[in-house]
């Protein structure tokens, strides 16, 4: 049937089950927004304060729900404001479809007002980009874009429509097609037939599985790493079964938080630069190390040459390009974590390793508590943890508070922890928290942040207030760039160059200006009272926790050095 092009766009989104969009309008995308006006009962659009906030919100929504997030922005600055959000989603393999509109074809390439080559800019930070110049291709391209974002290793995709393509008088032939039939038509069908095209997740090679099963049988000191792939692949149950059957300690990467319960007796805590003693030492002493959905980043395999050198190192990943990219492994299995682990679990027998476990767990799995006159981050986190439901979603920004939060909280399901691990985006947290709350209205959502990070996107408190999305923001306020200062302290001879943030605003007043409530606390008692008030109030709340400037993240291994080479314990 013939329909308006913009109607086809929105109908294609509905085919995908989209009911939530985060975005910000502007000149070139007005036609699409006009269409959206007729769909208000089917699609909830959240207008953020800034496009970056919309991008992070769509990302947080995707990470916490497992669905594909959708984000709209206009051309030029609207589109470039998305880029940090796109790169954040790309680095952490989060499926988000970004939709922008560009100037009309007759203005393209003429440095027109708000014109930018966003498909060119987004190329290295997306799985795919599409510049739509022909309205008739709309259904094919949107179906393809969602398939690309969600299948295999997930990730962001960008579609840029020329404004003339979305003009109200443009009609195209659109035939509704249920999502399950998308792969039978159009470009997706062409790909399906192509040799070597792996839009479908590869089925694991059985010889690879058998070899892994044999190695598991031979291992005396087995160890597992739970990476972000376990979270994205929602393979937590299979991973727990594997760990319990193998009776193997589990180190959890930053992105793996929620893939394996942090409170499980086999959990050794985080691994890497700020990993626990138990995790890092076990990686250095095990005889079999199976890393699932982890890419051995420079924050985990700090020194790729010496990483788990003594062990048989096995890599399970959905992305062939990750095999051997950072660390040379002894064996690998390519496939979806859930499927691979299912196959392995069917083939192994339960075993026990009491001696090996005793050895691993003789080292600290948790951060040592350091006494202080001031309220410590440890006290802040313990207080908060005691007040909130254990299934609360935690969105973090980037820095010390991120490490502390992830070290202290026990995440027990995929999507419970939302953090910018790969790209390390300061300002990610509030947008992500709002997206998560929208996608999970029944869960409590905490936004952990620092005074530096919060100032980067604090304007999203306007969104929080306007749509009444109740998120509790906890600021670890040390009036400094806490992750950088210790480096200056330890490595740069206390030359604190440009890391002093003592000129921050009054965060409580700022929250109030947006219609939220807030409290500034410097003792555990004050924090308890503030948390009680925040929970009872039920709307957006900001708690500014004053902590000492010289708090450090412990333990710490220096970049590039052996994983057991702790600078701080």
CB of 196 to other proteins, least distance (A): 5
Of the candidate spans 35-43, 72-80, 119-127, 378-386, the one that interacts with other proteins by CB under 8 A turns out to be 119-127
Could you say which of 1, 195, 350, 358 contacts other proteins (CB under 8 A)? 195
Could you say which of 7, 211, 245, 320 contacts other proteins (CB under 8 A)? 320
**Helix residue ranges per DSSP H, 293-417:** 337-347, 354-360, 377-387, 400-408
410 in contact with other proteins (CB under 8 A): no
120 in contact with other proteins (CB under 8 A): yes
Catalytic residue flag (residue 437): no
Could you say which of 168, 324, 368, 505 contacts other proteins (CB under 8 A)? 324
CB of 320 to other proteins, least distance (A): 6
CB of 472 to other proteins, least distance (A): 39
**How many chain residues interact with other proteins (CB under 8 A)?**
21
129 in contact with other proteins (CB under 8 A): yes
Of the candidate spans 124-132, 200-208, 405-413, 496-504, the one that interacts with other proteins by CB under 8 A turns out to be 124-132
Q: What's the alpha-carbon Rg for the chain, to the nearest Å? A: 24
Q: What is the DSSP letter of 480?
A: B
Give the CA distances from residue 139 to residues 23, 172, 180, 251, in Å, rounded to whole numbers and listed in that order: 21, 9, 14, 44
193 in contact with other proteins (CB under 8 A): no
Cβ(482)–Cβ(400) below 8 Å: yes
Catalytic residue flag (residue 309): no
Catalytic residue among 114, 136, 459, 488: 114
If DSSP codes are grouped into helix, strand and coil, which group holds residue 210?
A: helix
Catalytic residue among 11, 144, 163, 407: 163
Cβ(77)–Cβ(28) below 8 Å: no
94 in contact with other proteins (CB under 8 A): no
> d(Cα 409, Cα 387) in Å, to the nearest integer?
13
Catalytic residue among 483, 531, 552, 556: 483
* Residue 123 or 491 having the CB closest to other proteins: 123
123 in contact with other proteins (CB under 8 A): yes
Catalytic residue among 11, 35, 51, 464: 51
Q: What is the DSSP letter of 201?
A: P
CB of 327 to other proteins, least distance (A): 12
Question: Which residues are 394's β-sheet partners?
Answer: 417, 446
CB of 301 to other proteins, least distance (A): 15
189 in contact with other proteins (CB under 8 A): no
Catalytic residue flag (residue 239): no
143 in contact with other proteins (CB under 8 A): no
Q: What is the DSSP letter of 331?
A: E
CB of 424 to other proteins, least distance (A): 18
> Omega of the bond prior to 555 within 30 degrees of 0, cis?
yes
Query: In the chain, helix, strand, coil percent, each to 5?
Result: 40, 20, 40
180 in contact with other proteins (CB under 8 A): no
Catalytic residue flag (residue 566): no
Catalytic residue flag (residue 113): yes
> d(Cα 218, Cα 253) in Å, to the nearest integer?
25
Could you say which of 79, 116, 148, 406 contacts other proteins (CB under 8 A)? 148
Written as six digits, the tokens of 228 are 């972000």
Give the CA distances from residue 558 to residues 360, 418, 494, 502, 566, in Å, rounded to whole numbers and listed in that order: 22, 25, 17, 27, 7
Could you say which of 245, 325, 374, 539 contacts other proteins (CB under 8 A)? 325
> d(Cα 261, Cα 244) in Å, to the nearest integer?
12
CB of 325 to other proteins, least distance (A): 6
Q: Which residue has the tokens 């940090």?
A: 84
Give the CA distances from residue 169 to residues 52, 172, 174, 318, in Å, rounded to whole numbers and listed in that order: 32, 10, 15, 44
> d(Cα 489, Cα 270) in Å, to the nearest integer?
24
Any idea which residues carry the catalytic annotation?
51, 113-114, 163, 483
Q: Which residues bind other proteins (CB under 8 A)?
A: 119-120, 123-124, 127-129, 131, 144, 148, 194-198, 319-321, 323-325
């Amino acid at each position: 049937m013939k329909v308006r092009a913009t109607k086809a766009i929105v109908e294609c989104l509905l085919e995908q089950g989209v009911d939530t969009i985060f975005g910000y309008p502007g000149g070139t995308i007005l036609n699409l927004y006009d269409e959206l006006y007729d769909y208000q009962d089917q699609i909830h659009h959240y207008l953020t304060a800034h496009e970056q906030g919309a991008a992070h919100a769509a990302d947080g929504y995707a990470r916490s729900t497992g669905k594909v997030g959708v984000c709209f922005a206009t051309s030029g600055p609207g589109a470039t404001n998305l880029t940090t959000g796109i790169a954040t989603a790309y680095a952490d393999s989060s499926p988000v479809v970004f939709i922008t509109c560009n100037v009309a074809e007759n203005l393209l390439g003429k440095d027109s007002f708000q014109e930018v080559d966003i498909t060119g800019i987004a190329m290295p930070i997306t799985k795919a980009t599409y510049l739509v110049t022909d309205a008739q291709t709309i259904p094919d391209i949107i179906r393809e874009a969602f398939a690309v974002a969600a299948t295999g290793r997930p990730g962001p995709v960008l579609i840029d429509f020329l404004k003339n393509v979305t003009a109200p008088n443009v009609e195209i032939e659109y035939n509704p097609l249920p999502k399950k039939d998308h792969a039978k038509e159009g470009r997706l069908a062409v790909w399906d037939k192509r040799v070597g095209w792996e839009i479908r997740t590869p089925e694991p090679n059985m010889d690879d599985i058998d070899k892994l099963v044999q190695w598991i049988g031979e291992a005396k000191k087995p160890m597992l790493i739970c990476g972000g792939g376990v979270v994205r692949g929602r393979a937590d149950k299979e991973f727990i079964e594997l760990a319990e059957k193998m009776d193997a300690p589990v180190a959890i990467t930053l992105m793996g938080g929620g893939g394996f319960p942090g409170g499980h007796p086999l959990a050794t805590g985080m691994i890497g630069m700020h990993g626990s003693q138990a995790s890092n030492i076990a990686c250095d002493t095990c005889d079999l190390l199976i890393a699932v959905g982890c890419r051995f980043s420079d924050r985990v395999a700090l020194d790729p040459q010496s990483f788990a050198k003594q062990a048989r190192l096995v890599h399970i990943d959905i992305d062939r390009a990750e095999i051997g990219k950072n660390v040379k492994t002894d064996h690998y299995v390519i496939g979806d974590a859930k499927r691979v682990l299912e196959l392995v679990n069917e083939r192994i027998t339960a075993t026990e390793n009491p001696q090996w476990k005793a050895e691993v767990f003789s080292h600290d799995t948790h951060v040592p508590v350091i006494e202080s006159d001031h309220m410590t981050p440890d006290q802040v986190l313990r207080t908060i943890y005691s007040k909130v439901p254990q299934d609360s979603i935690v969105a973090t920004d980037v820095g010390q508070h991120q490490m502390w939060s992830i070290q202290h909280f026990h995440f027990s399901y995929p999507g419970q922890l939302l953090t910018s691990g790969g790209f390390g985006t300061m300002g990610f947290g509030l947008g992500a928290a709002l997206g998560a709350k929208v996608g999970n209205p029944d869960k409590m959502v905490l936004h952990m942040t620092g005074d530096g990070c919060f100032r980067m996107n604090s304007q999203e408190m306007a969104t929080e207030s306007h749509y009444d999305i109740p998120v509790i923001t906890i600021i670890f306020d040390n009036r400094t760039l806490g992750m950088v200062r210790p480096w200056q302290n330890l490595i740069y001879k206390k030359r604190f160059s440009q890391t002093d943030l003592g000129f921050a605003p009054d965060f409580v007043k700022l929250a109030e200006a947006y219609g939220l409530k807030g409290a500034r606390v410097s003792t555990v008692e004050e924090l308890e009272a503030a948390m009680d008030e925040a929970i009872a109030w039920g709307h957006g709340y900001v708690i500014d926790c004053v902590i000492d400037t010289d708090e450090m993240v412990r333990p710490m291994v220096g970049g590039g050095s052996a994983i057991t080479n702790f600078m701080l314990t």
